[in-house]
Chain A
Amino acid sequence: MTESTLSQPEKGIVSLTPDELETPPLSLGQLTWRRFRRHKMAIFGSVFLLLIVIYAFGGMLVFSEAYANRTETGARLQAPSREHPFGTDTIGRDILARTIYGGQISILIGLTAMLVELILGVSIGALAGYFGGKLDSLLMRFTEGVLVIPQIFLLLVMARYFAQSIPNVNFLGRTFSGSVLVIIFVIGITSWPYLARIVRAQFLSVKENDFILAARATGTSTRDIIFRHILPNSTAPIIVSATLSVAAAITLEAYISFLGLGVRPPTATWGNMLEGAYNYVESAWWLWFFPGLLIALIVLSINFLGDGLRDALDPHSRAI
């Protein structure tokens, strides 16, 4: 209690009622949640994100995937109407149903590409940061090498490299275009350098702490030091970075699909619904507006969420 009044002198001396004095100290999770709750934009972002997820996954109950992929050439490029609230695309597919199924794939790509990135970025950053020396400089040169080519160029080259006739995949009774896997993979293997640098910096600072020295002195194995002592103390920046990279992966998928090297039809994603849409800026605005808006909204909500998490997870932030 004295400590908190000392460290926040600007607030003056806080008079505490006996009741408050007896409340047990808050756990780290509770503190984080309290700080997060204060962040209005973050709450707004999370709610919006939840709504988009409900839209993409709840919409399955209303429309079947067959309906989303059904072409009806007689009803091409129809403006939004009662029958097709978001209109129809160039071969007469219902855009509302396609944004639902496309959203699932876009979110799936965002999450799994983030996982690939996380595995690569954390392991490379941890190895470089923990062992240092030759391994560190080798891995960091490698990281620099990947960063030198702008990601979108690298993605386009790699998407083409790996896109050579990958068969369709059956998963949970649904068929996905094999290019989904390619896109996840290439986004993952081109996104990790920033994360690796963050993890490396964390490891470099955490490993100098006395508790690591103590762990080493008591004969803890290297694996345990990395996974049970350093990594848990480095989670905050990793969580923030991982959250933001979901948004980045969704945008990147949209970019490469937009440029024509992304996920192949019939699988819909918000990105490939936009492919060639710039030819219809004038004649069919609904073609690009709805998927584009959904991408913008999900990226915005994830960025808000990430921003709130950054503030909430920061142990130095004293705001409760």
Chain B
Amino acid sequence: MTRYILRRLLQAIPLLFIISLVLFILMQNMGDPLATMGGRKVTRTEDRIRLARQLGLDKPILVQYVYWLVGNDWAKTDMDGDGVAETSGTRKGVLRGDWGISLVNRQPVTKVVGERLSNTLLLMVTAEAVIIIAALLIGIYSALNQYTAVDNVITAATFIFYSMPVFFFALLAMYIFAVNFKKWGLPYLPTVGMFEPAAGQTPAQVAWHMVLPVATLSFGFIAGYSRYIRSTMLEAMGQDYVRTAKAKGLPRREVVYIHALKNAALPIVTIIALDLPFLLGGAIVTERIFGWPGMGRLFLDHVSRSDTAVVMGILMMIAVAVIVFQILADVTYAWLDPRIRYK
């Protein structure tokens, strides 16, 4: 097992290098980072040349990539434009933990991303918990009551929610639970930000502001997973060992939750881990709509301003997370299901 994990991690390394190189090259043609730097236009040509030189943007793209990767403290750069490379660089490079400095606000990338990371994680972990609980409840219920009226309604509803784009759900939910509830004098849900500025960032405020974003992020997954659990549950309930459990007179609860569910819920572990990229994709739209100060919004803001360092930081972090979760999915599955062995 350890050898398997090690091999997977080693395989991931060249993959990450290639991804980072391709993304880095893509980032270079995304518009002029100097044009939006610091929110003001740098108009004079000599200023632009000087800035580009100081930021290292005049270097060939591969050199820029190498500097990003391993830093430039071993190389001398020409800072004053006299053609003589005299100043040694200060960057340490990603491989030594230096993710560079944001072009937009001159802050280290780790700080910029770190500030937003916890907000996104809060949203995603809560959503994941809601997804798992709701999908299990709905899936088990409709499997045990197959083809009843409620099951048919659930089937139709899951199909509709599964096909509904995230933004349409978000806008509808905002319109109903925020706009119209307010109009009708009911307690209405907030739609923007993490807390009321007047009330401060209290847990209650944040939880209240999370209701709509979490619902938006999770509805599609709940629909998909509950269908999945329904079918694996139905399959498990038809197995011989379930019949045996019933035949020896075990209480129904025990049969359903211990014997059937344990086996039916196994594949869900893998699916949840492998669906991380989709959850992240949902988060970017959700954060934009609800003004949630997370990584998705950070990404959008910095992509539009061609801030290579921050965008690369976010993307590489996501890539590592996705790869780690893929390995985690395999490992957990093998751990949960003793029939599976990796070499």
Contacts and interface: CB of A to CB of B under 8 A. Distances in A.
The answer to whether A binds B is yes
Interface of A: 41, 141, 144-145, 147-153, 156-158, 160-161, 164, 247, 251, 254-255, 258-261, 274, 277-278, 281-282, 285, 288-289, 292-293, 295-296, 299-300, 303-304
Interface residues of B, number: 47
Nearest to A155: B281
- What 4 A-B pairs have minimum CB-CB distances, sorted nearest first? A150-B277, A292-B168, A152-B281, A300-B163
B303 A151 contact: no
Interface stretch (B27-35, B61-69, B335-343): B27-35
Q: Is the interface of B mostly helix, strand, loop or mixed?
A: helix
B296 to A, nearest CB: 9
Contacts of A153: 280-281, 284, 299, 314-315, 318
Contacts of B280: 150, 152-153
A299 B322 CA distance: 27
Interface in B283-309: 284-285, 288-289, 299-300, 303-304
B315 A281 contact: no
A150 B318 contact: yes
A148 B316 CA distance: 10
Nearest to A307: B159
A227 B280 CA distance: 38
A31 B255 CA distance: 40
Contact of A295 (B14, B168, B300): B168
Contact of B19 (A145, A152, A156, A277): A145
Interface string B265-290: 00000000000011011001100110
Contact of B319 (A149, A156, A300, A304): A149
Interface in B143-183: 159-160, 162-168, 170-172, 174-175, 178-179
A153 B23 CA distance: 11
A292 B14 CA distance: 41
Given A152-B284, A160-B303, A278 B289 contact: yes
A281 B178 contact: yes
Central interface residue in A141, A151, A258, by most chain B CB within 10 Å: A258
Interface of B: 14-15, 18-19, 22-23, 26-27, 29-31, 159-160, 162-168, 170-172, 174-175, 178-179, 191, 277-278, 280-281, 284-285, 288-289, 299-300, 303-304, 311, 314-315, 318-319, 322-323
A9 to B, nearest CB: 17
Nearest to A254: B165
Contacts of A295: 165, 168
Contacts of B281: 150-153
B31 to A, nearest CB: 7
Nearest to B316: A149
A285 B303 contact: no
7 contacts: A145-B18, A150-B277, A150-B281, A157-B311, A259-B285, A281-B171, A296-B168
A190 to B, nearest CB: 11
A159 to B, nearest CB: 9
B127 to A, nearest CB: 15
B167 A292 contact: yes
A148 B165 contact: no
A251 B165 contact: yes
A148 B322 contact: yes
A157 B23 contact: yes
Contacts of B31: 160, 164
Given A157-B27, A281-B178, A292 B318 contact: no
Contacts of A285: 175, 179
